[in-house]
Amino acid sequence: MENKETVLVTGGSGFIASYCILTLLKNGYKVKASLRSLKKSELVKQMLKEAGFYSFQDLSFVEADLQNESSWEKAAEGCQYVIHVASPTPHTDAKTEDDFVIPAKNGVLFVLRAAKKAGVKRVVLTSAFGAVGFGTVKTTPYTEEDWTILDDTVFPYQKSKTISEKAAWDFIQNEGNGMELSVVNPTGVLGPVLADDFSHSIQNMKQMLNGDMKACPKIISGYVDVRDVADLHFKAMTMPQANGERFIAVAGEGFSLIDIANVLRKNLGKKAEKVPTKELPNWFIKLLALFNPKLKSVAPYLGMIKRASSEKAIKMLGWTPRSTEEAILATANSLIKLDIVK
């Protein structure tokens, strides 16, 4: 067997990262997955088994933390590629904006410096639509030419994604020494969950199926299946033309929460009996948000229409995402199967 190339996947126990690991192993690469604690290595294997993959001889684990620069040198050693997925997520204990922005930006720079030192060919960074379409209002779909404008309307998470992605491009330009970079900017990530750690978009669907969301706020955004996000990372890593480019990952142009609810009710019968049937007017949610801290975080998004285009990934890389409907149903069925939905 020829010598296999090794890919460092950061934040290996996360939702997107686990599918990136799966895609790489299936395509004959060796994977070194970084974890904040090696205790999570069993969870990663469990998730891969849940996805139907049982062969782990090409998978190893390394302990590394976004707060600790020296941990990344060991992690990147012997790797030809890095897929940098790890980032502080919105549901952590972050209190201030800096709690998001500083670890995200430093984490990106730590990983890039370590990758450069290890002689890595190309880094694929998982950014987010949060770095593309906030702080602005557009009636046409957002594209890779768009950047989030950092004003007071932009949440710390989106800010952290914007600042850390810009820092990555600056690093490559100023001190990359020929190391390559591609960036993937996913919209709301759906798809079959493999454990109870999953994206924010899936929390919404869990609330619908559990009956915790009695009616839908009016929010339209793009969605994409996690399997297609992993496939886009793989294409961004392996295809020469992806170097120096960013790619929005989205299937179709946009779905409202009531659209999602309708897909669930239409296809899941009795299992969807608690799913909301109504959309709430914006003024009503803004009123409730005065008394309900949970709704406060939703209020700024109300009436927001964030459509995005993945034409670039489709044309340049031949990427073919599943439909949003398929992603919605795969998500719901996996939540039911894993008993995450009561």
45 is catalytic: no
Q: At residue 210, what is the residue type? A: N
Contact 39, 112 (CB under 8 A): no
**What number of helices (H) and strands (E) belong to the chain?**
12, 11
DSSP state of 223: E
- In this structure, what token pair is assigned to residue 320? 């073919």
Among the listed residues 40, 105, 159, 161, the single catalytic one is: 161
Contact 102, 163 (CB under 8 A): no
Contact 8, 237 (CB under 8 A): no
Contact 159, 147 (CB under 8 A): no
Contact 210, 341 (CB under 8 A): yes
For residue 62, what are the β-bridge partners? Answer: 34
In order, the DSSP letters of 300-332 are GGTT-EE-B--HHHHHHH---PPPHHHHHHHHH
DSSP state of 40: G
CA distance 228 to 109: 26
CA distance 323 to 313: 15
Q: Provide the strand spans (E) within the chain.
A: 6-9, 30-35, 59-63, 81-84, 122-126, 180-186, 188-190, 220-225, 246-249, 251-256, 305-306
Give the active site residues: 161
